[in-house]
Amino acid sequence: MRRGPEESVDSSGDCIPRPAPPAIAPLFPLPGFFLFPGSVVPLHIFEPRYCQLIDDLIDQNGRLVLGTVPDEYASQLPGSPPVHPVAGLGEIARHEKLPDGRRYLIWLIGLARVCVREAPSDRLYRRVSYEPLIELPIRAEARAALRRELEGAIRSRCKEIDELPADLADACMIDILIQKLQLPAVETARVYAERDMERRAHGALAAHASKPLG
The pLDDT, as a whole number, for residue 7 is 46
The pLDDT, as a whole number, for residue 43 is 97
The pLDDT, as a whole number, for residue 17 is 54
173: left (phi over 0), alpha (psi -120 to 50) or beta: alpha
Query: For 8-27, what is each residue's pLDDT tens digit?
Result: 444 444 555 556 678 999 99
Please, which residues bridge with residue 17 across strands? 7
Of all residues in the chain, what percent are helix, strand and coil, respectively (each to 5)? 30, 30, 40
Mean pLDDT confidence for 50-63: 93
Mean pLDDT confidence for 34-54: 97
Is it the case that residue 114 has pLDDT exceeding 90? Answer: yes
The band of 121, judged by pLDDT with boundaries at 50, 70 and 90, is very high
Around Cβ 214, how many Cβ atoms within 10 Å?
Answer: 6
Mean pLDDT confidence for 29-56: 96
Q: What percent of the chain has pLDDT over 70?
A: 90
How far apart are the C-alpha atoms of 126 and 143, rounded to whole Å?
Answer: 40
The pLDDT, as a whole number, for residue 18 is 56
Around Cβ 20, how many Cβ atoms within 10 Å?
Answer: 9
Query: For 154-210, what is each residue's pLDDT tens digit?
Result: 999 988 777 788 899 999 999 999 999 999 999 999 999 999 999 999 999 999 999
pTM: 0.87
Is it the case that residue 128 has pLDDT exceeding 80? Answer: yes
CATH H-level superfamily of 23-132: LON domain-like (2.30.130.40)
* Mean of pLDDT over the chain: 90
